[in-house]
Structure 1
């Protein structure tokens, strides 16, 4: 008997991961992300000092064996505060993106699939929101709701809804013309089932990529709101707030500004590198 060749079915996600591993820049970004996540999760175990306890007699001490990154104007250990700041900034980044992605994807699905006046209404709402600079819109929302970490997270989630909504809308407009969607309609499948069983699974690849890149933007927005005093409130450790509290010591005690700034830069760099690599790995044209 002739031998039958085994046909291996390779998942597109497995193929994407294989291509992603070959990209050194993306892997480097992934390592940075993992390190920051570990630091944030295990901050209570890794931080050498309590980040909120003040030691005024130790204020503005330069980096030393006792305080590796020095102390701030209240004598608090900078290393401990940067570690706890990773927890705050990553929390805002992840959850704001998850919130805006869910709402934006739902609105984009509805607009792209049903079309007509529904599409016009949702698209005009997106256009109005995008007409405002994102950070100014976030400031306005926090000013209405009141300063605080949760309100800053909510504002960042709201301002990014149009980004994900328009992205998935454009993808749905293409997917709903496919033959398998026509076949599903011919079989009498309900619109809700078509949306969530066929349209969404074939449309979420660009959402995952944009979401990864969006976390970097959310971290920057959270730092900006914290710098303006609209985000995390004292004594909570947050990188943007740390920069704001230390801006008058930029010449006399530069370490108080340098290390929170480096933390913001590295975390944003990590997500951007990983997001760029993920986009290339999941793009079928890059095969």
Structure 2
């Protein structure tokens, strides 16, 4: 709705207000955060690289040329070659696909299961809350990477099992976050009013509880992707993640660790790729937290 101001000639001038809303206001606040926009730009760049990896790669990432093994960066091989003569640039580009895929889908799985369990525990309480909370406590009693290693060791080393293990170990993070949010929401006046007019629990959950629980999930999920990428790289480094010849960044680091002194480029470029990807998600996650959390606003 517009508001009226006076111009220099004395007549009224109607100026239109900018459309407003919680998500629109959050986007405006996010855009003002330069570091958050930098993180978003970096993420979009990595996504573009992952999508166009077959086009951008100068060589087949699996092609071996032993006569060119451990060649330093040059015009022919911008990132050099590894111990099997494979082009590191091509492998790094294709590795973006694996890292983003594992990071994104493991977090999506954690969010779905964690949100479901957190809502059940927080909304219905009693014995259900006790069982689910104790389950979260048991999972949190183990260091996440050790629990992920144990799960992959049981299921067998593979990229899919690494994704599943990362999703499982992060369920309590989202479950406890959602449970705490639901506990604070279910006693609000509008929830009481919804009950008073006869709205069923399913309607309250879908129309009131879940929409108002999205903010912390979005923020934690964005930060969680960065953590998941590191965990996937750690499992790959230990040989429990992607298997050869898949160009997973952590596996590339593991395969090249013996050449750190003689051929440092073999570990430098995969390591930098992990660092910049994690940094990008952390920057964007911090920006989302500042934009979506009312307590962070002046």
TM-score tier, shorter chain, comes to over 0.9
Residue of structure 2 equivalent to 1:85: 95
Q: Does 1:233 align with 2:243?
A: yes
Cα RMSD over matched residues?
Answer: 1.5
| Offset of residue 32 of structure 1 | 1.0
Matches within 5 A, 1:39-188: 39-188=49-198
Q: How far is the alpha carbon of 1:8 from its aligned partner?
A: 6.4
Q: Which fold has the larger relative contact order, with Cα–Cα distance below 8 Å and residues 6 or more apart in sequence?
A: 1
How far did 1:193 drift? 1.5
Offset from partner CA, 1:64-103 (integer Å, 9 cap, x none): 0000000000000000000000000000000000000000
2:39 aligns with: 29
5 Å matches for 1:253-264?
253-264=263-274
Q: Distance in 2 between matches of 1:8 and 1:63?
A: 52
Aligned length: 286
Q: TM-score, normalised by structure 1?
A: 0.97
In structure 1, which of residues 245, 248, 265 is the aligned counterpart of residue 258 of structure 2?
248
SS at match of 1:61: coil
After superposition, the Cα gap between the structure-2 partners of 1:248 and 1:187, relative to the gap in structure 1 and judged at 3 Å, is same
1:208-244 deviation line (CA, Å, top 9, x unaligned) = 0000000000000000000000000000010000000
Q: Deviations over 1:183-223 (max 9, x none)?
A: 11112211112111110001110000000000000000000
Looking at CA atoms only, which structure, 1 or 2, has the larger radius of gyration? 2
Gaps of 5+ in 2: 1-11
Moved more, 185-194 or 237-246: 185-194
Match of 2:48 in 1: 38
> 1:5, 1:71 → 2: CA distance?
62
Any unmatched runs of 5+ in structure 1? none
Deviation sequence 1:234-284 (CA, Å, 0-9, x none): 000100000000000000100000000000000000000110011001111
In 2: Cα distance, 1:125 partner to 1:99 partner:
17
Distance in 2, matches of 1:103 and 1:45, equals: 36
TM-score using structure 2 length: 0.93
Q: Deviation string for 1:120-143 (max 9, x for gaps)? A: 110010001000000000000000
SS in 1 for 2:83: coil
- Give the match's secondary structure for 2:177: helix
> Among residues 228, 249, 272, which one is paired with 1:218 in the alignment?
228
Structure 1 segments, 4+ long, off by >6 Å, are: 2-8
1:115 Cα offset (Å): 0.8
Change in Cα spacing, 1:192 to 1:12, as seen in structure 2 (3 Å) is same
